[in-house]
A and B are shown apart, each in its own frame.
Chain A
């Protein structure tokens, strides 16, 4: 059985599908979206997270560390911090153990028409683990949330083994996509095509970032691309999160970008574009 790496199991995720749900966050992502608010999900390796705000500067963590230049996430510093300010983000786990953990609350999830949502990071980056999870999480309702950036044959298998998919479509223009996310959108659109003509219910999520993808042209192209998708339930617009940079410092990273959040009117206009193509559109 393959081992995967996750960074969080979140109970009562209210935004990730029907009913009461638990979301599991896979760690590691091949994209580098400039508006990413979840930097924990980027690296596929365990990392330490430190709450610098409350640090009393006792240096116990530094003294104990054997690998000051290249953290191996051994956890030694975590155990000595008198304030409990350090934790490791990233837990290796196999599908059976993960499923067992999630199913501790199977009664709650099933009774309320809910289930589990696998998200990240990018779930497709851990294909074998993902497929095993989807299998072992049965009979729960399973959803995944993905950027769609993955091998089309893997995507097909995932599609056939899941009940619901949230697919991000950031923008239609390939060059711009590469510039803002670090990868081309070719595979993403290919996988989106599979979804459009497949049997799995799905929702398209669009992070709406001013000056990046909120132009009429991009939104119109996206709507045109999606208009004949038979199992598309709706498009959900997620306005840029102004707090996107807030978690970087905890990981000793710097957030280098700054974007504007679209205004209400702009969001409304975007919604109208999708509705004009007969696509239901929600604003998150």
Chain B
């Protein structure tokens, strides 16, 4: 980190750049809205008009210390819908989240390389022979390109006004005619990424920057530029993702999809780790900011050094990198029908979902399947009639299938707002003259399987005590659950503390694997209305919180108020486990069948990271997990005492970052229920 970057970092952290922001006045908002909130105007027209106006209203600001330009100056811009219009649409359609194109990993690489002019020419040449709808689409794409170009021109003018004409030329020319330099490529990336957020599309994934920028890196090296200089530039680039992130739409601060995926393999399967992989990791380590989140693709052949570097990043307490196991994920994606080259090119979506850059428009979070509830209902309604564990599991499978079939009906008639800007940045939309909202090569849906551990633990408890030693009868268990264990504290103790638990007791692994298998089987062969399939996963996102609603107590001794386990992690508050039992328990052979993902979260007390030797050991632990066939891992450096203290004195812990599910967030900003859960999760810390 050179002194300019240090100053930039201070500048960004002190949020001085925010003085350039403003709210639109009511009159301005009204005036703008009157140009596109027009009933009867096609949505694609509205979208484009809004985008043009928003981009044009943005004032160019050249911040000090940085060489990568582009700053949001307008806080909010009116939406394209007339009042009540979206609600009308909702009556006849399923609207996923906000109905906007989101969670895409774009083909930045292509647009940066070709330049906007070439993309515009392509769009123009496709006008020939286009029908009316296609024509409208292509014209909108061209208008979006013009709007971006106009925006870049004003930035270039501003740079010229400041006497920085070389920079001005580079910014404009490389964006319009194709990038030649690494800095030019990064600058173009910044502007395109900026444009996505302006358009209202969100969770724009950053992707494989160590691969996408590598040709530019090599060109710089050939010119004699040192790695140190390049790292400074990468730091500058990474910092740019923190300028506007508080304005980005997200479920919680930090959940904005700005994820980078590093390492992994190339389309031919060769190791893709290169000098930029290390530079990016070190740059992230230096700037220590919440964005962008780093995902590290690893495999059984990843050397320990890369894990060590990752561990150093974990030590900063940012809650990343998240490790993704290529051996499991690629095989899993192939099974679901992804072509090998595409599968090998996967990146982490907003949280952990493997998605395919440029050619994938999967909705990996279409819904959550409440595994804990389905198991509980299986027990409540059928345990008394079942004579064996096998019988019970068969009933569970049937109920799971029924639940999924019914649930799939909820997502019929999907509504998706058009997006010529996202279409520009995905592959083949221009060639196919079709907006991305209508789908692309991969249009799959992903289901989270939530409450996984509570599902396993319930079945394991039944196996041990109802079918096993007979110490609890079916109706005793059902009655106790009904009563939330109020009159049976001893049974609660037995079930919650003594009963076998996944992530502690090896014998539960069979049930865990069975559940993954059944989940995959239940989705096998199902088609969604967009021509895609369904991807099973082990994540929970917010569902483990939502799915407590009406669940009541469960057969694993969990009472109605206790949260479910998040993602693919042990039930809360289990004692007597440790990192080895956890990584062993959660590296299940059938994980490759559930590649929608959802990580195991392992929290280690931050004092564990206190020496080089300890870093190596933590790296070994992660490597071992991957070699044992674990699919995804989030490792957090958390200090339990610190968290309890943070609850009591939140004002002193404004900077404390934890990773909650797919994202990092500021602890003090989370609701108490999440805070409590994180505190409980640190129990197997060292």
Residues on A lying within 8 angstroms of B by beta carbon are 9-15, 19-20, 22, 60, 78-82, 84, 87, 104-105, 107-108, 111-112
Q: How far is the CA of A105 from the CA of B581 in the complex (A)?
A: 8
Q: How far is the CA of A20 from the CA of B493 in the complex (A)?
A: 32
- Distance of A49 from chain B, by nearest CB (Å): 11
Inter-chain contacts of A12 with B (CB < 8 A): 578-580, 604, 617, 621, 686
Q: Are B686 and A13 in contact (CB under 8 A)?
A: yes
Inter-chain contacts of B578 with A (CB < 8 A): 9-12, 22
Cβ of B497 < 8 Å from any Cβ of A? Answer: yes
Q: How far is the CA of A14 from the CA of B497 in the complex (A)?
A: 27
Q: Are A78 and B493 in contact (CB under 8 A)?
A: yes
Inter-chain contacts of A15 with B (CB < 8 A): 614
Cβ of B584 < 8 Å from any Cβ of A? Answer: yes
Cβ of B511 < 8 Å from any Cβ of A? Answer: no
Inter-chain contacts of B617 with A (CB < 8 A): 12, 14, 19-20, 112
Inter-chain contacts of A22 with B (CB < 8 A): 578, 580
- Count B-side interface residues using an 8 Å CB cutoff: 29
Q: How far is the CA of A12 from the CA of B579 in the complex (A)?
A: 6
Cβ of B523 < 8 Å from any Cβ of A? Answer: no
Inter-chain contacts of B608 with A (CB < 8 A): 14
Contacts A12-B578, A14-B614 given; does A82 touch B686 at CB 8 Å:
no
Out of B497, B573, B614, B686, which one reaches A10, CB within 8 Å? B686
Q: List 21 A-B contacts (CB under 8 A).
A: A9-B576, A11-B578, A12-B617, A12-B621, A14-B614, A20-B580, A20-B617, A20-B621, A20-B624, A22-B578, A22-B580, A60-B489, A80-B489, A80-B493, A84-B573, A105-B581, A105-B584, A107-B628, A108-B583, A108-B624, A112-B617
Inter-chain contacts of A108 with B (CB < 8 A): 580, 583-584, 624, 628
Q: Are A112 and B624 in contact (CB under 8 A)?
A: yes
- Distance of A151 from chain B, by nearest CB (Å): 33
Task: Using CB atoms, name the residue of chain A closest to B623.
Answer: A112
Task: Using CB atoms, name the residue of chain B closest to A243.
Answer: B641
Inter-chain contacts of B620 with A (CB < 8 A): 19-20, 112
Q: How far is the CA of A196 from the CA of B354 in the complex (A)?
A: 57
Task: Using CB atoms, name the residue of chain A closest to B490.
Answer: A79
Cβ of B496 < 8 Å from any Cβ of A? Answer: yes
Out of A13, A14, A82, A87, which one reaches B613, CB within 8 Å? A14
Inter-chain contacts of B576 with A (CB < 8 A): 9
Inter-chain contacts of A107 with B (CB < 8 A): 628
Task: Using CB atoms, name the residue of chain A closest to B576.
Answer: A9
Q: Are A79 and B489 in contact (CB under 8 A)?
A: yes
Q: Are A87 and B575 in contact (CB under 8 A)?
A: yes
Cβ of B221 < 8 Å from any Cβ of A? Answer: no
Chain B residues 609 to 646 lying within 8 A of chain A, measured CB to CB, are: 613-614, 617-618, 620-621, 624, 627-628
Q: Are B493 and A84 in contact (CB under 8 A)?
A: yes
Q: Are B580 and A11 in contact (CB under 8 A)?
A: yes
Inter-chain contacts of B584 with A (CB < 8 A): 104-105, 108
Cβ of B506 < 8 Å from any Cβ of A? Answer: yes
- Per-residue A-contact encoding for B673-686, CB less than 8 Å = 1, 0 else: 00000000000001
Q: How far is the CA of A80 from the CA of B490 in the complex (A)?
A: 6
- Distance of A203 from chain B, by nearest CB (Å): 13
- Distance of B75 from chain A, by nearest CB (Å): 43
- Distance of B565 from chain A, by nearest CB (Å): 16
Inter-chain contacts of A9 with B (CB < 8 A): 576, 578
Task: Using CB atoms, name the residue of chain B closest to A15.
Answer: B614
Q: Are B506 and A104 in contact (CB under 8 A)?
A: yes
- Per-residue A-contact encoding for B560-579, CB less than 8 Å = 1, 0 else: 00000000000001011111
SS of B interface (majority): helix
Task: Using CB atoms, name the residue of chain B closest to A105.
Answer: B580
- Per-residue A-contact encoding for B127-158, CB less than 8 Å = 1, 0 else: 00000000000000000000000000000000
* Extra pairs beyond A105-B580, A105-B584 (8, CB < 8 Å): A11-B577, A11-B578, A11-B579, A12-B686, A19-B617, A22-B580, A80-B489, A84-B493
Inter-chain contacts of B573 with A (CB < 8 A): 84
Task: Using CB atoms, name the residue of chain A closest to B485.
Answer: A82
Out of A14, A87, A112, which one reaches B686, CB within 8 Å? A14
Contacts A12-B578, A105-B581 given; does A84 touch B624 at CB 8 Å:
no
Task: Using CB atoms, name the residue of chain A closest to B578.
Answer: A11
Q: How far is the CA of A79 from the CA of B492 in the complex (A)?
A: 8
Task: Using CB atoms, name the residue of chain B closest to A104.
Answer: B506
Contacts A20-B621, A112-B620 given; does A11 touch B581 at CB 8 Å:
yes
- Distance of A21 from chain B, by nearest CB (Å): 9
Q: How far is the CA of A115 from the CA of B563 in the complex (A)?
A: 35
Chain B residues 490 to 523 lying within 8 A of chain A, measured CB to CB, are: 490, 493-494, 496-497, 506
Inter-chain contacts of B686 with A (CB < 8 A): 10, 12-14
Task: Using CB atoms, name the residue of chain B closest to A8.
Answer: B576
Chain B residues 583 to 615 lying within 8 A of chain A, measured CB to CB, are: 583-584, 604, 608, 613-614
- Distance of B72 from chain A, by nearest CB (Å): 44
Out of A19, A84, A105, which one reaches B497, CB within 8 Å? A84
Q: Are A79 and B580 in contact (CB under 8 A)?
A: no
Inter-chain contacts of B628 with A (CB < 8 A): 107-108
Inter-chain contacts of B614 with A (CB < 8 A): 14-15
Inter-chain contacts of A87 with B (CB < 8 A): 575
Inter-chain contacts of A19 with B (CB < 8 A): 617, 620
Q: Are A84 and B496 in contact (CB under 8 A)?
A: yes
Inter-chain contacts of A81 with B (CB < 8 A): 489, 493
Q: How far is the CA of A82 from the CA of B553 in the complex (A)?
A: 14
Q: How far is the CA of A107 from the CA of B624 in the complex (A)?
A: 9
Task: Using CB atoms, name the residue of chain A closest to B579.
Answer: A12
By CB atoms of chain B within 10 A, which of A13, A14, A19, A108 has the most? A14
- Distance of A34 from chain B, by nearest CB (Å): 23
Q: How far is the CA of A60 from the CA of B584 in the complex (A)?
A: 37
Out of A20, A82, A111, A112, which one reaches B489, CB within 8 Å? A82
Q: How far is the CA of A162 from the CA of B573 in the complex (A)?
A: 35
Among all A-B residue pairs, the 4 with the closest Cβ atoms: A11-B578, A11-B580, A12-B579, A105-B580
Q: How far is the CA of A115 from the CA of B658 in the complex (A)?
A: 31
Inter-chain contacts of A111 with B (CB < 8 A): 624, 627
Inter-chain contacts of A79 with B (CB < 8 A): 489-490, 493-494
- Distance of A274 from chain B, by nearest CB (Å): 18
Inter-chain contacts of B621 with A (CB < 8 A): 12, 20
Task: Using CB atoms, name the residue of chain B closest to A13.
Answer: B686
Inter-chain contacts of B579 with A (CB < 8 A): 11-12
- Distance of A111 from chain B, by nearest CB (Å): 7
Q: How far is the CA of A22 from the CA of B617 in the complex (A)?
A: 12
Q: How far is the CA of A15 from the CA of B610 in the complex (A)?
A: 10
By CB atoms of chain B within 10 A, which of A15, A22, A81 has the most? A15
By CB atoms of chain B within 10 A, which of A81, A107, A108, A112 has the most? A108
- Per-residue A-contact encoding for B14-53, CB less than 8 Å = 1, 0 else: 0000000000000000000000000000000000000000
Inter-chain contacts of B581 with A (CB < 8 A): 11, 104-105
Q: How far is the CA of A15 from the CA of B609 in the complex (A)?
A: 11
Q: How far is the CA of A107 from the CA of B628 in the complex (A)?
A: 10
Q: How far is the CA of A20 from the CA of B616 in the complex (A)?
A: 10
Q: How far is the CA of A13 from the CA of B686 in the complex (A)?
A: 8
Task: Using CB atoms, name the residue of chain B closest to A78.
Answer: B493
Task: Using CB atoms, name the residue of chain A closest to B615.
Answer: A14
By CB atoms of chain B within 10 A, which of A12, A80, A111 has the most? A12
Inter-chain contacts of A78 with B (CB < 8 A): 493
Inter-chain contacts of B497 with A (CB < 8 A): 84
- Per-residue A-contact encoding for B462-506, CB less than 8 Å = 1, 0 else: 000000000000000000000000000110011011000000001
Q: How far is the CA of A147 from the CA of B578 in the complex (A)?
A: 26
Q: How far is the CA of A60 from the CA of B486 in the complex (A)?
A: 13
Q: How far is the CA of A79 from the CA of B489 in the complex (A)?
A: 7
Q: How far is the CA of A133 from the CA of B579 in the complex (A)?
A: 23
- Distance of B69 from chain A, by nearest CB (Å): 44
Task: Using CB atoms, name the residue of chain A closest to B584.
Answer: A105
Q: How far is the CA of A19 from the CA of B580 in the complex (A)?
A: 13
- Distance of B603 from chain A, by nearest CB (Å): 12
Task: Using CB atoms, name the residue of chain B closest to A111.
Answer: B624
